[in-house]
Amino acid sequence: METVPADGLIAASWLLIALPLAGAAVLLLGGRRTDRWGHLLGTGTVVAAFVLGLLCTLQLDGRQVEVGLYTFVATGSLDVPVGLLFDPLSAVFVLLITGVGALIHVYSIGYMAHDPRRRRFFAYLNLFVAAMLLLVLGDNYVALYVGWEGVGLASYLLIAFWHERPAAATAAKKAFIMNRVGDVGLALAIFLMFAQLGTVSYDGVFGSVGTLAAGTVTAIGLLLLLGACGKSGQFPLQAWLPDAMEGPTPVSALIHAATMVTAGVYLIARSAPIYDETPTARAVVLAVGAITLLIGAIAGCAQDDIKKVLAYSTVSQIGYMFLAVGLGPIGYVAGLAHLLTHGFFKAGLFLGAGSVMHAMNDQVDMRRFGGLAPHMKVTFVTFGLGYLALIGFPFLSGFYTKDAIIEAAFDRGDGWGYLLGGVAILAAGLTAFYMTRLMLMTFFGRPRWEPGVHPHESPPVMTAPMVLLAVGSVFAGFLLVVAFPLEEWLAPVFGEPVEAEHVVAPIVVSVLVTAVMVIGVLTAWLFVGRREVPAAAPVRVSPVTRAARRALYADAVNESLLMRPGQWLARALVFVDNRGVDGAVNGLAASLGGSSSRLGRTQTGFVRSYALSMLGGAVVVAGALLAVTAG
């Protein structure tokens, strides 16, 4: 695919990144002077970026446009020119990030209205948007890496936004450290590309990746996957994402549902030419996606914290996307379409959860909700539409995009295809179960509110974004799959769509998925809706429930396999340092000091004893001389 030099408005697409970055700089450097209008500036820059992104996209016309900026690193053998690549793939992401981002900025004006540090919150949000845009717009892996670290930093700052709460500070550290594990993988992949190919630009790497040894390509693919797993909360690095819900809810919606956590999917889709060369790494992507989507769905069924249910749902849905991009050419578009619709409905669901928390004095325990539907009509309707879209209710967003992924899995044609498709359908049923449970526990049944809670609808500045996202949740799937097929839009990147040979007829898949969904909903109704929900979580539960509550022991495994040995190692090193190294040095000094003071006691001050030692010495010298000369 040929890239063409930038022209028209696209030449100014660097403004997309510069605008939010300038917003962040003004808000952070301006200090308290910007407190009064800071949130408006922060929102304005993102809205402006969205308008610019929209205009650029309209001018794109299926080309891949190269916007050269400057040379970041220039040495004899390593040149990293910084440029932007505005192609259909990045355009899609730009619209998602700035569009959903702008809505969430508007929502945050209301959500953070009473927070004394609202200006700083908007500064961090702007920083995040700028970094995320750099991530998807960069034309080389180093620019992507800079954006990658930038969103990690913004994520850390925003999770720990209420850093006076120990849980938030710990969660931020956990997220940062687990992300770092993945980032090491990404960095190593970039090193490997440079060592083997001498270039890190997408053009250069994809052009010559075919010349590499199979093992090297597989290594690059697996390392990129490690990076993607860290950022996207995929198995085995999934444990940070649910904890990240300690951050303010708009952050969960923007960063930990709609955009940042999908960066891993972007990375793998963008690196499609690399994965084309390595079936092994691609199979691992598939496995990671399949495992994660099950883990997330199972864990989501047993959580009582409304945001954690949504977080595990995010983990699970990103698992679907990984599964799709792991399928190769038949799955890329399906995965990205699901990514986009998921961005709409999951952001909407999080904003709805935020609205509920707002009404319930920041309570997150669903066992203390119940019967909220009549009190919060807008929230209930928008949340309900997001819920229907997520569980794949026919003709809403999730229905189109999730079905596409499951079809693509069956289209693999072999036994693995059936297994993956089966896993995906099973998880769809679990999704329906846990989301229905959430709906029933929150909006239906008898109120189980804590005393003194008076639920009320949120102000329009919060409900308006929720309504827009709900509209998106309803129609995005239809638009992306049927009306304006994403397949054709992305054809310049992934090639012309080919009519796959369906192993299982699409109608059969749709009916099957819908049937499983209905079973999930009915089961949830049987377990939760039909009877009274206890205000405290039951203690006597089956081992399966207990495992699901603890997210299949992910934290326990991490702790016993990594954290404890790490602590032991650290303690052993401290012991060796204190006793071994310090001991040797201090012991030497002490023994020298002791022996010298003992020697010092031989100096009595009596002249006669000195004279005696002189005489003794003289006798010894004379004796030695005699012995030598006589011998």
Partner 1 sequence: MSLTHYLVLAAILFTIGAVGVLVRRNAIVVFMCIELMLNSANLTLVTFARASGTLDGQIMAFFVMVVAAAEVVVGLAIIMSLFRTRRSASVDDANLLKY
| Residues engaged in binding partner 1 (CB under 8 A) | 600, 603-608, 610-612, 615
- Alpha carbon 149 to its chain centroid, in Å, reads 11
Cβ-contact 341, 476 below 8 angstroms = yes
Q: Whose Cβ is closer to partner 1: residue 51's or residue 622's?
A: 622
Q: Whose Cβ is closer to partner 1: residue 603's or residue 629's?
A: 603
Q: Whose Cβ is closer to partner 1: residue 415's or residue 605's?
A: 605
Orientation of helix 397-411 relative to helix 460-478, angle to 10°? 40
CB of 600 to partner 1, least distance (A): 4
Query: How far apart are alpha carbons 193 and 428 in whole angstroms?
Result: 38
Q: Whose Cβ is closer to partner 1: residue 77's or residue 603's?
A: 603
Q: Which single residue is written with the structure tokens 């799937």? A: 477
CB of 604 to partner 1, least distance (A): 6
Q: Whose Cβ is closer to partner 1: residue 75's or residue 629's?
A: 629
Q: Which two tokens stand for residue 79?
A: 């040149």
Q: Whose Cβ is closer to partner 1: residue 177's or residue 612's?
A: 612
List the one residue out of 343, 172, 191, 165 whose CA is nearest residue 262.
343
Cβ-contact 554, 229 below 8 angstroms = no
Given its phi and psi angles, is residue 533 left (phi above 0), alpha (psi -120 to 50 degrees) or beta?
beta
At residue 596, what is the residue type? S
Q: Whose Cβ is closer to partner 1: residue 62's or residue 593's?
A: 593
Classify residue 252 by burial, with Cβ atoms within 10 Å: 0-12, 13-18, 19+. Answer: buried
CA dist 620 to 395, 481, 612, 624, 627, Å? 111, 107, 12, 6, 10
CB of 591 to partner 1, least distance (A): 18
Query: How far apart are alpha carbons 516 and 524 in whole angstroms?
Result: 12
Q: Whose Cβ is closer to partner 1: residue 483's or residue 607's?
A: 607
List the one residue out of 495, 223, 201 whose CA is nearest residue 332.
495
Helix (H, G, I), strand (E, B) or coil at 130: helix
CB of 622 to partner 1, least distance (A): 12
At residue 167, what is the residue type? A
CB of 596 to partner 1, least distance (A): 9
CB of 602 to partner 1, least distance (A): 9
Q: N- to C-terminal Cα distance for the chain?
A: 98
Sign of torsion over alpha carbons 247, 434, 394, 531: negative
Query: How far apart are alpha carbons 39 and 430 in whole angstroms?
Result: 39
CB of 624 to partner 1, least distance (A): 19
Please report which residue ranges of 198-239 form alpha helices under DSSP H: 202-208, 214-232
Helix (H, G, I), strand (E, B) or coil at 65: strand
Query: How far apart are alpha carbons 271 and 142 in whole angstroms?
Result: 14
Query: How far apart are alpha carbons 373 and 440 in whole angstroms?
Result: 10
Q: Whose Cβ is closer to partner 1: residue 454's or residue 608's?
A: 608
Query: How far apart are alpha carbons 85 and 2 in whole angstroms?
Result: 12
CB of 592 to partner 1, least distance (A): 15
Query: How far apart are alpha carbons 514 and 394 in whole angstroms?
Result: 7
Q: Whose Cβ is closer to partner 1: residue 543's or residue 605's?
A: 605
List the one residue out of 462, 497, 458 whose CA is nearest residue 481.
497
CB of 581 to partner 1, least distance (A): 32
CB of 606 to partner 1, least distance (A): 6
CB of 610 to partner 1, least distance (A): 8
CB of 611 to partner 1, least distance (A): 5
Q: Whose Cβ is closer to partner 1: residue 540's or residue 608's?
A: 608
List the one residue out of 515, 514, 512, 520 whose CA is nearest residue 440.
520
Q: Whose Cβ is closer to partner 1: residue 452's or residue 600's?
A: 600
